[in-house]
């Protein structure tokens, strides 16, 4: 088959959606398919900046959410215009990665299936881009629900999204959990010293790695809140965050207020191909997601990559993380927003390194067995074939 993976967001960019697309592309190509991508990044820069983005700031000042809806509609229009070109008529199927890409593809007359990675409307509310009680919220929900009904098949990355779509639209989606490239994300712990030297990290530090976009639902403030007691007992402990987002200034301010700023490293954006090296140089990974404005973490790619990379994982017991991690067997789960519980888990894994190694070994075995991109690609292939019969 000739398959197009399309999104109204940037690609590649730093985040789970881009990682998903890249890894799925690799898996499908391994099965012999031709796979290409189309995204907002393929639009001329002046259109992106001056038509899609610039007016949104002004519109949001007048009515919170107006700019958010504006830019999504413009993105969809740009994709639709490109998809109507002759070159895309040769594709057998389009796998849209968001509902605005779905609408663009359907309007262009192309066979379309949709992957739902989350809750577009409620994620907009969670990050402060849309007002809770507004016409903009309803506008976005209308697009979501109508596209789930019109697309040939819906794929979700966790059970809660599947149930949400069924409850709101009556559509039966297929759940395929997120996955990783198990050949790329594998244990490289024997190179820890090398990678710490490369990135100028102290060889004696106990590094907690938080590979998270710095947004509220990812709970990134909680490692900082939980860290002072850890640092009191282990002065060589360090938090290392990889990601950017609207929470960065708040996190820096809180670290300074707590007197721990010197033991907190903010890397900013890290290229995905370099992430395996950061996992390898770290001692423990944290995925401290929280429940925020109706939004829960799906099958976290960051958690899967940590588990595949040979270091123990501490995660909050929300959303898809509860499906990924078997508590005290292949990772530790703690109650979301529970500062003391996160502190205790961090201290426990420092004090019990052999137990941490056992968790990491079991996690790697689970990833190979259940979250391989090769196995996932076969499931997607089956859905594409079935959709083409409709």
Contact 134, 64 (CB under 8 A): yes
Buried b (16+ CB within 10 A) or exposed e, 56-75: beebbeeebbbbbbbbbbbb
Fold (CATH) for 2-179+372-388: Rossmann fold (3.40.50)
Round to whole Å and give the CA distance between 183 and 292.
34
Angstrom distance (rounded) from CA 3 to CA 176 = 18
- pLDDT, one tens digit per residue, over 346-382 is 999 999 999 999 999 999 999 998 898 988 999 999 9
* Beta bridge mates, 206: 237
Fold identical between 2-179+372-388 and 189-370?
yes
One digit per residue, the tens of pLDDT, for the chain of length 390 reads: 999 999 999 998 867 889 899 999 999 999 999 999 999 999 999 999 999 999 998 898 889 999 999 999 999 999 999 999 999 999 999 999 999 999 999 999 999 999 999 899 988 888 888 998 899 999 999 999 999 999 999 999 988 899 999 999 999 999 998 898 888 888 998 999 999 999 999 999 999 999 998 988 899 999 999 999 999 999 999 999 999 999 999 999 999 999 999 999 999 999 888 999 999 999 999 999 998 766 667 678 899 999 999 999 999 999 889 889 999 999 999 999 999 999 999 999 999 999 999 999 999 999 998 898 988 999 999 999 999 998
Q: Supply the pTM of this predicted model.
A: 0.77
By the 10 Å C-beta count (0-12 exposed, 13-18 middle, 19+ buried), 46 is classed as exposed
Q: For the chain, how far is it from start to end, CA to CA, in angstroms?
A: 16
Share in percent of the chain as helix, strand, coil (round to 5): 55, 15, 30
Contacts of residue 352, Cβ cutoff 8 Å, sequence gap at least 6: none
Cβ atoms 31, 378 nearer than 8 A? yes
CATH assignment of 189-370?
3.40.50.2000
Domain map (residue ranges) of the chain: 2-179+372-388, 189-370
Q: What are the angstrom distances between the C-alpha of 101 and each of 138, 207, 351?
A: 19, 39, 48
Q: Check: CB of residue 219 under 8 Å from CB of residue 347.
A: no
Q: What would the pLDDT profile of 52-95 be if each residue is shown by its tens digit?
A: 999 998 898 889 999 999 999 999 999 999 999 999 999 999 99
């Amino acid at each position: 088959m000739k398959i197009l993976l399309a999104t109204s967001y940037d690609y590649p960019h730093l985040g789970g959606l881009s990682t998903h697309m890249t890894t799925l592309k690799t898996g499908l190509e391994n099965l012999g398919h031709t796979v290409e991508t189309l995204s907002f990044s393929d639009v001329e820069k002046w259109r992106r900046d001056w038509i899609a983005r610039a007016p949104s700031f002004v519109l949001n000042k007048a009515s919170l959410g107006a700019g958010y809806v504006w830019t999504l509609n413009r993105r969809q229009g740009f994709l639709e215009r490109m998809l109507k070109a002759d070159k895309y008529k040769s594709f057998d199927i389009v796998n849209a990665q968001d509902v605005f890409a779905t609408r663009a593809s359907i309007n262009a007359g192309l066979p379309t299936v949709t992957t739902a990675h989350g809750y577009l409307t409620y994620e907009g509310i969670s990050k402060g881009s849309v007002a809770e009680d507004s016409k903009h919220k309803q506008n976005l929900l209308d697009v979501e629900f109508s596209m789930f009904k019109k697309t040939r098949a819906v794929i979700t990355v966790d059970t809660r999204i599947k149930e949400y779509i069924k409850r709101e639209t009556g559509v039966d989606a297929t759940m395929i959990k997120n996955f990783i490239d198990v050949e790329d994300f594998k244990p490289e712990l024997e190179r820890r010293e090398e990678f710490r030297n490369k990135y100028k990290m102290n060889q004696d530090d106990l590094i907690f790695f938080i590979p998270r976009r710095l947004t509220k639902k990812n709970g990134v403030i909680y490692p900082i809140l939980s860290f002072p007691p850890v640092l009191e007992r282990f002065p060589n402990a360090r938090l290392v965050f990889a990601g950017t987002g609207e929470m960065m200034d708040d996190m820096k301010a809180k670290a300074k207020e707590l007197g721990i700023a010197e033991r907190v490293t903010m890397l900013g954006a890290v290229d995905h191909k370099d992430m395996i090296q950061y996992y390898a140089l770290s001692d423990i990974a944290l995925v401290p997601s929280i429940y925020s404005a109706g939004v829960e973490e799906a099958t976290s790619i960051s958690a899967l990559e940590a588990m595949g990379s040979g270091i123990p994982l501490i995660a909050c017991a929300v959303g898809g993380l509860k499906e990924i991690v078997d508590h005290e067997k292949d990772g530790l789960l703690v109650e979301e927003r529970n500062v003391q519980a996160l502190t205790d888990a961090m201290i426990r894994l420092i004090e019990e390194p052999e137990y941490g190694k056992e968790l990491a070994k079991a996690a790697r075995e689970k990833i190979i067995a259940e979250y391989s991109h090769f196995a996932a690609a076969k499931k997607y292939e089956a859905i594409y074939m079935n959709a083409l019969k409709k």
